[in-house]
Amino acid sequence: MDRMLVVVFENEGSAYVGKNALKNLDSDGTIGVYAAVVLSKRADGTASVREGDEPGLLGTLLGTSLGSLIGILGGPAGLAIGSTVGFGLGAGFDVDHARIGEDFIDDVSKQLSPTKAAVVAEIEEDWTTPVDELMESLGGTVFRRALSEVRHTANQEEIAAMKADLAQLKAEHAQSRADRKGKLQEKINQLDSKIQAQLQKANERRQAGEREAQAKAEALRVKAAAAKATVS
């Protein structure tokens, strides 16, 4: 099962130990790790991910579930890669794209206080004990949540209701007095904008799902190539 995993540690050094241990579980086939980074919370509440943490990884995370979660955990002040580069603009802060509940984000945010750090990863695991026992032995607090299905389509009932209202407004507009047409047109424009926003959000979800699949496929390709090189 694909899951989002966050393991909170007391400091950045411990988090890197935890990340390496997670990678070892991947190497021995206990779990699969699609991607993992260390997110550090500074004393002022801002957060950062080191650009050199995984060369080439951070760019591929933009718009994926993991990238969205990293952006959200960065907090209102935002997240920096290295010291200067902003991360997660747009889709990076969309809870829908993260595909996990707000309660999960709240629980992690409460634990991930200033000066602490966390391993944030998207993994595939059949059972939880190996990760839990290892991370807990290293002083980590484990949070995990199965990824929800991405809803690629708009809420059709909601769209249909809004379109019905829009048709009614247009009919009234066609028959209204001149002094009423302006107000009715304003309502028509507002409702049409809401419909378009719903359709756009559904399209963004579809695109996020496609990016997610591409990022996972690339992660598996890199892993397979590394394994082949080791054997050779």
What is the DSSP track for the chain? Answer: -EEEEEEEESSHHHHHHHHHHHHHHHHTTSSEEEEEEEEEE-TTS-EEE-GGGSTTHHHHHTTSHHHHHHHHHT-TT-EEETTTEE---GGGG-HHHHTS-HHHHHHHHHHS-TT-EEEEEEEE-S-SHHHHHHHHHTT-EEEEEEPPPP--S--HHHHHHHHHHHHHHHHHHHHS-HHHHHHHHHHHHHHHHHHHHHHHHHHHHHHHHHHHHHHHHHHHHHHHHHHHHHH-
Least confident of 59-63, 207-211, 225-229: 59-63
For the segment 54-72, the average pLDDT, to the nearest whole number, is 67
220: pLDDT strictly greater than 50: yes
Pick the more confident residue, 131 or 201.
131
Domain ranges (residues) in the chain: 2-149, 152-232
The β-bridge partners of 39 are 49, 118
Mean pLDDT of the chain: 78
pLDDT of res. 83? 36
Least confident of 28-37, 64-73, 178-187: 64-73
Most confident of 40-44, 149-153, 203-207: 40-44
Distance of CA 73 to the CA centre of its chain: 10
- Tokens found for residue 157: 């009932």
pLDDT of res. 3? 85
Helix 156-175 vs helix 178-231: crossing angle, to nearest 10 = 160
Specify the pairing of strand 79-81 against strand 47-49.
parallel
Least confident of 94-108, 172-186, 216-230: 94-108
pLDDT digits (tens, 9 = 90+) for 29-51: 999 988 888 999 988 878 888 75
